[in-house]
């Protein structure tokens, strides 16, 4: 999971160098979904959502099966 988050942060940083106007999410409505699937599912489907808020990269997990946030707040990526 940490490798995915770090890779996302690096990609966003590189994109901002090329075109800074399109690199950042402007609001919570512009959250990107990343769905992680395995070969089979037995439990809930958890989707990782990413955003950039006030210049900080953040992520949060959404339980797509039951319809609720797993964490209470967004987690800032260091």
Q: What is the mean pLDDT of residues 13-35?
A: 52
SS3 call for 49: strand
Q: pLDDT digit string (tens) for 26-62?
A: 444 556 666 665 555 578 889 999 999 999 999 999 9
Contact 43, 51 (CB under 8 A): no
**Residue 49: closest CA among 61, 67, 37:** 61
Domain positions in the chain are 2-76
Rounded Cα distance, 8 and 55, in Å: 15
Tell me how far apart the alpha carbons of residues 36 and 76 are, in angstroms, rounded to a whole number: 20
């Amino acid at each position: 999971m940490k490798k995915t988050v770090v890779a996302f942060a690096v990609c966003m940083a590189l994109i901002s160098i090329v075109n800074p106007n399109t690199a950042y999410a402007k609001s919570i409505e512009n959250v990107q979904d990343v769905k992680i699937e395995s070969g089979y599912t037995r439990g809930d489907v958890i989707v990782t959502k990413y955003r950039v808020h006030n210049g900080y990269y953040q992520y949060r997990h959404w339980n797509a099966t039951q319809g609720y946030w797993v964490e209470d707040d967004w987690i800032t990526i260091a």
